[in-house]
């Protein structure tokens, strides 16, 4: 049976935070969680875009709330500021959706000097999750969903000597590395939660091939060739379904990975996605976690 947002259980009384929710998959994720009864906080870097998304989501006839907060995931200082403001304002968090991302941009770095895709897609969300962990662990059954991509399979490993583009920059390679890091993070996070006994669940999801603005940096010719090779794009609402499934379904497995159930996980409805050996590698997961803790100065979860 196809799983859609109509299968989401009643989320009344729950609070969700969705990063990068001003458009695309993040917007559709926030909208569906709000329509299921959750109080939703959306984040974006641009205030005008955040306000527009807020107006598009909000239904005056509902009793639950949607609100926005500005967040720049390319700045560790801003992530800390945001997290302190969130905890002060809301005190509760049941669903953290690590959705925001950047794909194949021109060479650039975060405020802290990391290659932009690695810094935003992975390191920023690692820091955000750590800062918000105290309010996550206070609610039994809280979930953290981290967005991956089928592109992670093209990353052979994470080159820790090139995460600040010290050697070279290749946009597709760095994107794949950032998404491999996200999947390793989700799996290693669950291993650590199992060890500490915290009642938080970490899962990962990917949207398949979806029509969003994420591909805006791609060369137009290469983009058209990719469409011919991969087939038609799913609408954003359908690409959001694996994330929503991972966030709300009772049938998920802690540390699991979910994506479209069609051939190659390119399209379809939520199902279990393939995790390759590189993503599951215990040593690689520990090494990434150690690097991220050192880079951000945040250690979690702690016994």
CA atoms in the 13 A half-sphere facing the CB of 232: 4
> Which residues, at least 6 apart from 83, have a Cβ–Cβ distance to it below 8 Å?
128, 131, 132
Write the secondary structure of 171-229 as one string of H (helix), E (strand) and C (coil).
HHHHHHHHHHHHHHHHHHHHHHHHHHCCCEEEEEECCCCECCHHHHHCCHHHHHHHHHH
Catalytic residue among 34, 68, 114, 175: 175
- Tokens 């091939």 — which residue? 209
Enter the DSSP assignment of 157: -
Query: What stretches of the chain adopt beta strand conformation (E)?
Result: 15-18, 39-44, 66-70, 95-98, 142-147, 200-205, 257-260, 270-272
Q: Is residue 175 annotated as a catalytic residue, yes or no?
A: yes
Q: Are 178 and 116 in contact (CB under 8 A)?
A: no
List the catalytic residues.
175
């Amino acid at each position: 049976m196809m799983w859609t947002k109509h299968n989401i259980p009643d989320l009344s009384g729950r609070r969700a935070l969705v990063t990068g929710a001003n458009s695309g998959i993040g917007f559709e994720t926030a909208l569906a969680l709000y329509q299921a009864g959750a109080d939703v906080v959306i984040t974006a870097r641009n205030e005008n875009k955040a306000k527009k998304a807020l107006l598009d989501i909000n239904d005056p006839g509902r009793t639950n709330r949607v609100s926005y907060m500005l967040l720049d995931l390319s700045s560790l200082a801003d992530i800390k500021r945001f997290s302190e403001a969130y905890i002060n304002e809301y005190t509760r968090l049941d669903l953290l959706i690590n959705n925001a991302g950047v794909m194949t941009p021109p060479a650039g770095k975060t405020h802290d000097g990391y290659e932009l895709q690695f810094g935003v897609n992975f390191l920023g969300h690692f820091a955000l999750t750590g800062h918000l962990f105290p309010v996550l662990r206070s609610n039994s059954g809280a979930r953290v969903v981290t967005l991956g991509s089928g592109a992670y399979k093209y990353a052979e490993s994470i080159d820790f000597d090139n995460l600040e583009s010290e050697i070279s920059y290749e946009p597709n390679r760095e994107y794949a590395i950032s998404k491999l890091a996200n999947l390793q993070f989700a799996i290693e996070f669950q291993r650590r939660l199992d060890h500490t006994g915290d009642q938080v669940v970490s899962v990962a999801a990917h949207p398949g091939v979806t029509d969003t603005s994420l591909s805006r940096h791609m060369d137009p010719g290469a983009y058209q060739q990719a469409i011919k090779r991969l087939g038609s794009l799913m609408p954003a609402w359908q690409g959001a379904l694996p994330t929503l499934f991972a966030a709300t379904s009772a049938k998920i497995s802690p540390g699991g990975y979910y994506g479209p159930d069609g051939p190659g996980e390119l399209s379809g409805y939520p199902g279990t996605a393939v995790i390759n050996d590189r993503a599951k590698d215990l040593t690689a997961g520990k090494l990434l976690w150690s690097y991220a803790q050192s880079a951000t100065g945040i250690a979690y979860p702690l016994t």
